[in-house]
A and B are shown apart, each in its own frame.
Chain A
Amino acid sequence: MLKQLAEKDLLRLLERIATRRRLLTPQRQSDGSRLLLPWPGGLPELVGTPLQRKPTEIFFPQLELLMELDNSGDVRLPVPADKPVALLGLDHFDLAAIAFLDRFFLSRPTDDAYLRRRHDALLVGLSGLAGPQGATLPPAETCDLELILVPDKLLARPHAKLGEELLAGFTAADPTALRAIDRSPAERPATLLAAARLLQEDQVPEAFWEEIAARCIACGGCNFACPTCNCFGVQDRTFGNRTERSRLWDSCQLDAFMREAGGHNPLGTETLRTRRRVYHKLVADPLRWGELGCVACGRCDRACPTGIGMLALCEDLVRR
């Protein structure tokens, strides 16, 4: 049932969440950007530009200890945190990216390292007039509960049992309050879909990739900023008899990504790597998962120092 939250209700809701969970809420930084950080008390910064860092890093962090090994062959797995996490203020892009990674890591064989962080996590979506300069964010429904900002009011709607429990006791809202904002569902940008079609039909000339690749400085920023990128490498650090084995984000834009010990490198040129970055999300992911691997959040476009992030590249591709 749709609820209405006055400021004190929102604070009560946050307290409820925080009793059982480590609550992360958006907080504004001195440069105006917003980050998900441990809730310091008080009202969260719901309105503003998209979260600077990808929220999927909470479940798939840049560096993650997989296990400790000792020389006798014993393996010790990390213990899950005693409090599951709660993420508040996720827009539809963030939720789509989390859904993508959930399917990727939790489909068989289940990735236990991801599950250890993801299990029992609470997701609180955000929609309505919470975009930059009051822009309307489309519905954010693949979560436990959704906060919806309408003129002068904050509404809350549960999408799962957990959300319902957390909202118990708050005042019911008049459903017509939702009519004050545009509730059309989010759609992927037309240029992204058009570019995907061109790639799927193998209509992109090699020269296009060469030209884009010539501008790439191989910084890996596009991958590291992307909330659906899931590639990782493995690293060991040894302290005496004990070794920490961790995984860390890797980037397909780096030359060593696929280089084999024998020297053969299927992604041995910048051109091949640039094509792979785009092909993987727009052709390979749909073939494998039935859905584009790009949720169109724009983070890679904001990260790329040379202006060849996914959306810019697709526009260029379609224009030609």
Chain B
Amino acid sequence: MTIPASLYAPRPCRLLETSDLTPQEKLFRLQLADDTSLGHQPGQFIQLSLPGLTEAPISIASSPTRGPVFELGVRRAGRLTSALHQLAPGATIGIRGPFGRPFQLDALRSGPLLLIAGGCGLAPLRSLIQYCQDRPEEFGAVHILYGARSPADLMFKDDLAVWQRSDRLDCRTTVDRTPAASCYDGDTGLLPELLSRLDFDPTDCRAVLVGPPPMYRPVIAELRRLGLDGDRRIMLSLERQMRCGVGKCGHCSIEHLSCCSDGPVFWLEEVENLRGAL
């Protein structure tokens, strides 16, 4: 009998470099130990494994156009992610994947893009933003709207600065509140307000949303008000507890769908009427 390669066995990766993104989030640069490319597409995730601490799903935060080194932006949330934050370059980390349905790039090439992220949601969107940066001829205007709690919570600040300087990208940030002594010069308020002030052409425009659960409904309502109505206009990436990443463990189900393998990226109309999806 030939048993197929194990669905559950992690592949070793080398941790090349880490850096702080915010007080609770770090960037990890990794490469597969056999130096091959991960072979992912923007929007996909990996299952990150540490012996003794099981696994956690983490979005791939860099674009496949950037070669075999890939990056993760990870928040210290619990046991596994805290242990990860303690690791130094040179450490070995296990990964499985890439898994999941990626952002539907073909549908995003037709017109202007609104890439909207809240909190940790910028990690998967960064993969798509880098992809757009590296293949500018394939995409129309790209508007990035990123919301965080406070200026200190903005992830990927170096990238944000580069994107804000770029002529090809329009990048705006907003925070819930600005402390008195802050040199932050972006907007304050929630994402729908930032969106309502944006000047863009809704014809053929597509929006991609990734953020915490409370973000979706208000942002979707605003997008519709601005003219993004009808099918295949709004794409979103959903988060669930995930144990296997491959449609077997049952933890990530959204009614009859498995978030890990039917998603995590969905068109809005695929999930909007499913109980508990948004």
Binding site for B on A (CB under 8 A): 66-67, 69-73, 75, 77, 80, 104-105, 109-113, 115-116, 119-120, 230-236, 238, 243, 245, 247, 250, 252, 257-262, 264, 266-267, 272, 276, 279-280, 283-285, 287-288
Q: Check A234 against B276 for contact (C-beta < 8 Å).
A: no
| Also in contact, A67 and B248, with CB within 8 A (given A238-B52, A262-B77, A288-B256) | no
- Residues of B15-48 whose CB lies within 8 A of A: 33
**From B94, B250, B276, contact of A73 by CB (8 A):** B94
Q: Check A231 against B249 for contact (C-beta < 8 Å).
A: yes
**From A73, A120, A231, A247, contact of B33 by CB (8 A):** A73
Docked Cα-Cα span, A119 to B1, in Å, equals 8
Q: Check B255 against A245 for contact (C-beta < 8 Å).
A: no
Q: Check A234 against B239 for contact (C-beta < 8 Å).
A: no
Binary contact readout B226-261 vs A (1 if CB under 8 angstroms, 0 otherwise): 000000000000011101101111111111100000
| Closest residue of A by beta carbon distance from B242 | A260
**From B3, B8, B51, B78, contact of A261 by CB (8 A):** B78
| Closest residue of B by beta carbon distance from A239 | B52
**From B10, B51, B248, contact of A230 by CB (8 A):** B248
| Closest residue of A by beta carbon distance from B77 | A261
The contact size tier of chain B is 35 or more
Q: Check A245 against B54 for contact (C-beta < 8 Å).
A: yes
**From B1, B4, B10, B256, contact of A287 by CB (8 A):** B256
* A5: min CB distance to chain B, Å: 30
Q: Check B249 against A260 for contact (C-beta < 8 Å).
A: no
Q: Check B51 against A250 for contact (C-beta < 8 Å).
A: no
Docked Cα-Cα span, A231 to B242, in Å, equals 11
In the bound complex, residues from chain B placing their C-beta under 8 Å from that of A257 are 241, 251
Q: Check B239 against A232 for contact (C-beta < 8 Å).
A: no
| Also in contact, A70 and B78, with CB within 8 A (given A112-B4, A283-B256) | no
In the bound complex, residues from chain A placing their C-beta under 8 Å from that of B53 are 236
| Also in contact, A267 and B276, with CB within 8 A (given A119-B3, A232-B243) | yes
* In the complex, B55 has a CB within 8 A of chain A: yes
9 contacts between A and B (CB under 8 A): A69-B94, A110-B7, A112-B5, A113-B6, A113-B8, A232-B243, A234-B243, A272-B276, A280-B253
**From A233, A261, A267, contact of B243 by CB (8 A):** A233
Q: Check B4 against A110 for contact (C-beta < 8 Å).
A: yes
**From A105, A287, A288, contact of B248 by CB (8 A):** A105
In the bound complex, residues from chain B placing their C-beta under 8 Å from that of A113 are 6-8
Q: Check B246 against A264 for contact (C-beta < 8 Å).
A: no
| Also in contact, A233 and B249, with CB within 8 A (given A109-B7, A238-B52) | yes
In the bound complex, residues from chain B placing their C-beta under 8 Å from that of A71 are 51, 92
